[in-house]
Structure 1
Amino acid sequence: MRGGGAVGFLATALFILAGMGASAMASGCGVSLPAGRHELAIQSDGVERSAVYFIPSTYSGKRKLPLVFDFHGSNSHPEGQMNRSHWDAVAEREGFIVMALQGSLDGAVPGTYAWNVPGVNPLPGVSRGNGLDEGRFIRDAVDKAKQMFCVDPARVYASGYSGGGRMLSQYICDGHGDFTAAGFVMGLRAGYPEQEDGVWRPRKASCQPARPISIIAFSGLKDHINPFAGGGKPYWQYGGEVALKRWAELNGCDDRESTDKGDGFSVSTYSGCRGGTSVMSYVIADATHDWPAQSIHFPLAMGGDEAIREVDATDRMWDFFRSAGKELVATSTAKATCIDTTTTATNNKGGQGTACRQPVQSDLSAPGASEGL
């Protein structure tokens, strides 16, 4: 009996160890991957969907890394969006993974795409005839990324540009809690637009997040595509300030925001939010519908010139993400994770600082601002 028990115990132990090994493989850890950009097909609801992902040269599969999703605007595509945002350059310097997904709608420009955003009609020239369930696709993509890569599930973030920001907003509004923090460039929403007594506002029932989430948004006062003051196309209507206040309300933040003015921009921050989250907004006086670039001097904290440095929206977003929305100070900026400092090179296009070991594609194929709506 004792011998049989020992054999049974050994078999059970081996089964558990085998299960642990399978679980480790399923999480993506323990497997090295080639660095650089790669295309990926993801099965979602019986349809093959497209994505592009980026692996930094420091990736070993032995350490869980952050993951940032990058959502393209209308009439664009994943490659073009990554060229616009330069998230891959920041990922190479700082040591994290990026994944850019492709919307299901055919864009008005050949070879481009748009998102089938729930609750609103697409842009003129974009048909909804081939629209798919984008929420399911995003959820499937998050699961796929966790299976393929060695990812820290507590450090999964997302950013969206224009139509991609509208898609990301609604995905969070629909109760998906995959992301710890989210960033928006010219595209923050807080639910479907509705009009009451001549005033446009977000429909409260259309935005029910699963939990509080830290939000950072960038808007331009000269953006005539998605006007900060409101109006514009039927999918837009209520302004950026209204959307921001609604997210502060959803996060249970203090009623009044702190506002500071910089060189050509203002920054508003809501504090006291649930779960240690925060809501922050940069409004740039001369910005149009472009991704804010290096010419903007973003502060890392409110007040104090020593906390201001010249970065673009992507760098500023990454500072916000890795701080999980908590108040940023100059000393909180983490050192780059590059291990080969002898081969660094400045990326002057995006103002992203230095790259680690591998060259990163420059902004050559990104659609113009008027095309990435």
Structure 2
Amino acid sequence: MLKQEGTCREKKSEKKQESPAFKAGHNKVRRHLQKGENTMKRRDFMKLSAATALGATVAAMAPSALAATELDQTNGDLHTTVDRKTAAMGLGDGKTFAYDPENPYLNVNVGLFHDAQVMVGGQNVGAATYYLPDGMDPWAPAVIVLTPDNTTARAFSGSVTGRMWRTVAYKNKIAVAFFGPENGGSWNLSLSAAGRDDAAALDALYQLMRKKSVKLSGAFSMDKSHTALVGYKEGGAAALLFGARWASDFSSICAVDAAEVPAASLEAVGGQYVLPFPGDSTRGVQEEAIAAKTVDTPVWFVRSNADSTNKAALEFYLKANQAVAKGDGVYVSGRAGSAAEVWVTEKAQCPAAIWEKFSGQFKRFMALQLPGRVAKAEDFTRRGFDIHEEWVNGELRRWMVYVPSTYTGNEKVPLVLVMHGYTASMYAIAEESRWYDVAEQNGFIVVFAQGLVRPADLMGNIPTAMWLAGPFAALAGKDTDPSVDLEFINSLLDRMEQDYSIDTTRVYATGHSNGSLMTWATACRYASRFAAIAPVGYMFTPLPELDPAVLLPAWAFLGEYDSAGVAELVEDNGTVKALQGWNAHNATNEAAVAESTSYNGAFVTKSFMGGNAPLVQYTVVKDTPHVYLQEESVAIWNEFFSRYSRGADGTLYYQGNAVTAGQYQPSANWYAAK
């Protein structure tokens, strides 16, 4: 692997590569369709040609690395197009553009934002500079770059290295944040009480970047599982030290020409507890008690004296990863389920090489393995994935299909519909849930639907990806039908049945958070289309439109530390009311509830029988936050979806036997009193 390393000069002659996670979003859109009521035609880009030509002319005056133009990044009239290109080149301050329904996925904030104020305990501890390229997708990866001593974030963003990072961001459609020491002075590597708490400042920056408020400078939608940390010289030492303190925040760390990290400082931060659920909550720190020195983290020492002045830092990370030598300066983590690696090289690496080889390759997902599962980023251009962007019912919609290698089209196969959460993406829920792995192993097709990016003014946020269902329907706006997303899903199911050989008796739906809400709402409106559903991370009572004659098996999940629902079952709380509603609809016997555990006690499940089948199930996942786990996908298929089917006449079957409707028998013995 490291034999491919090279200097920045050498990289210029190499073939351009892109982050696996973003090849799909920008290079593999299969079809572009013209808007129509229910028709899908090739999208017409001719109206954009003049704007694009002018944008290219302006771009030609900028550094060549930023000269490329992309049709799909054109927004509105000629002035807007040129303004976006100019902002993306970093010519002047960043700009905020109006939401464009013709190009809804375009980020509204573009360019350099120098005043991202970082706050700790209500006090301003510094300002970061963001660079946001034109054309970022929802849920974009990010890199935090720590500057050398005596260098501000603003100054470094305009340096040669800073401009190279901006070029990397532009090409890969990722965000870059530059952050420097206090007042442009020195990093507090000795952890002096008289200096800034740089560890707290770094964590505050990470948390700030996750926010999407319109009141913030340069707000954007960040992929919390793919936030890499890079540092130069003293900033490299800061990345190694303070990145260790908040290891669970970051997907990887890269130290370039790093100054010495004091061994005593490393020892001090190594004993402190990290956030067990950094992408979701600050809860559980004391309960889970995860010491920084035990967190597996991908780390790359680039010309950072790992065999001498920074030997203590290398040993720290080798122990944290339980790493074993693979050869050529590569060490691989010995922790179960971890893809983390530690690299040591002496050749110079330019930002493009750092991103392409390392920072762009690792992700950290919230998982059963606390404080997260380190994995390689998925390549959505590989065989099996098919990505669509098409006009459907007057809106530009996206979805991604995974077709297993065993599919021939000669036999009908089941279909699983998966929907992501608020502000997230189809790529995010795919990697988090790994439903494509389950589909490959079991021979069914899975479709990951993308929520449209819509204005979120009522929530005080920039336009974000969402599903208009339940409370979120209020965000539809005066000119948007609140049912438009439900109709899109219905049209998408029709399209899947048209494009593939789908067993319509075995169609299932699942989703996370806002996608969980969408799962409940979709199932209520189109109940007869589904054999079973499995909403994760949000509870919801049946809607009046649910056909009372249609039994609909449902398995719901909440994490013990879930931020979008109360896992405990207490009289009259939202979770109990939702389960009571679904038990009533499916006519279960609440007095005969059964409880079981799995995954070494992590899954605690209550099952409510309706006739001869467990028509309602509810699982609390211990020691987990608001997340969709890959283990949940496996369990949902093996223990629930695969056992249900619905006949052409609407009859529900469980393990091949028709489900006979019982009579609802309420009981209070399965939840606690107030």
Normalising by the smaller structure, the TM-score range is 0.5 to 0.7
Shift of 1:176: 3.8
- Give the structure 1 partner of residue 605 of structure 2: 267
Unaligned runs of 5+ in 2: 1-381, 646-652, 656-674
TM superposition shift of 1:270: 0.8
Decide which moves more: 105-114 or 51-60: 105-114
**1:42 touches 1:144 (CA, 8 Å); kept in 2?**
no
Q: Which of these residues, 518, 523, 538, is aligned with residue 187 of structure 1?
A: 538
Contact 1:75-1:107 within 8 A present in 2 as well? no
RMSD: 3.0
Q: Give the counterpart letter for 1:150 in structure 2.
A: S
Q: Quick check: 1:217–1:281 contact (8 Å CA) kept in 2? A: yes
- Structure-1 separation of matches of 2:453 and 2:428: 16
Residue 65 of structure 1: CA displacement?
0.6
Aligned length: 256
Superposed CA deviations along residues 319-343 of structure 1, whole A, max 9, x for unmatched, are 1100118889xxxxxxxxxxxxxxx
Indicate if the aligned counterparts of 2:527 and 2:547 stay in contact, CA closer than 8 A.
no
- Give 1:59 shift: 1.1
Q: Residue type of the partner of 2:500?
A: F
Consecutive unaligned residues of structure 1, counting only runs of 5 or more, are 1-33, 193-204, 232-236, 294-311, 329-373
Give the Å deviation of 1:81: 1.0
What is the correspondence of 1:101-250 to structure 2 with a 5 Å cutoff? 101-106=449-454, 113-118=465-470, 120-121=471-472, 128=477, 133-191=484-542, 205=544, 207-208=546-547, 211-229=550-568, 238-250=573-585
Instruction: Measure how far apart 1:227 and its partner are.
Output: 2.6
> After TM superposition, which residue ranges in structure 1, 4 or more long, deviate above 4 angstroms?
107-112, 126-132, 206-210, 325-328
Summarize the Cα distance change of 1:230–1:46 in structure 2 as closer, same or farther, 3 Å threshold. Answer: farther
User: Residue 305 of structure 1 corresponds to which residue in structure 2?
Assistant: none
Q: Any conservation in 2 of the 1:177–1:210 contact (CA below 8 Å)?
A: no
For 1:249, give the aligned amino acid: A
Contact 2:537 2:558 (8 Å CA) reproduced: yes
Give the drift of 1:264.
4.1
Higher relative contact order by CA 8 Å / sep ≥ 6: 1 or 2? 1
Cα distance in 1 between the residues matched to 2:564 and 2:455: 16
Q: Distance in 1 between matches of 2:441 and 2:405?
A: 9
Structure 1: distance between partners of 2:642 and 2:555: 12
TM-score by length of 1: 0.61
Question: Offset of 1:280 from its aligned partner?
Answer: 1.1
How far does the alpha carbon of each residue in 1:291-333 deviate from its partner, in whole angstroms, 9 at most, with x for none? 235xxxxxxxxxxxxxxxxxx10000001100118889xxxxx
- Cα distance in 2 for partners of 1:168, 1:46 equals 22
1:122, CA displacement in angstroms? Answer: 6.6
Change (3 A) 1:149 1:209: farther
- Deviation per residue, 1:30-55 (Å, 9 max, x gap): xxxx9411112354323332111111
| Deviation of the 1:285 alpha carbon | 2.9
**Cα gap change, 1:153 to 1:222, in 2 (>3 Å):** same
Q: Decide whether aligned partners of structure 1 residues 101 and 58 sit closer, same or farther in structure 2, where only a CA change above 3 A counts.
A: same
Cα deviation for residue 142 of structure 1 reads 0.5
CA deviations on 1:219-275 (whole Å, 9 max, x unpaired) are 1221123333599xxxxx95223212211110111132222356244210011348x
Measure the CA separation in 2 of the matches of 1:210 and 1:75.
35
Matched, 1:314 2:633: yes
Partner of 1:54: 402
User: What SS is found at the alignment partner of 2:584?
Assistant: helix
Cα separation, 1, equivalents of 2:479 and 2:611: 40
Paired AA for residue 47 in structure 1:
E
Which amino acid letter does the alignment assign opposite residue 65 of structure 1? V
Partner of 2:65: none
Partner of 1:286: 623
Native 8 Å contact 2:595 2:607 kept in 1: yes
| Code of the aligned partner of 2:420 | H
Give the Cα separation in 2 of the matches to 1:104 and 1:273: 39
Shift of 1:181: 0.7
Higher Cα Rg, which structure: 2
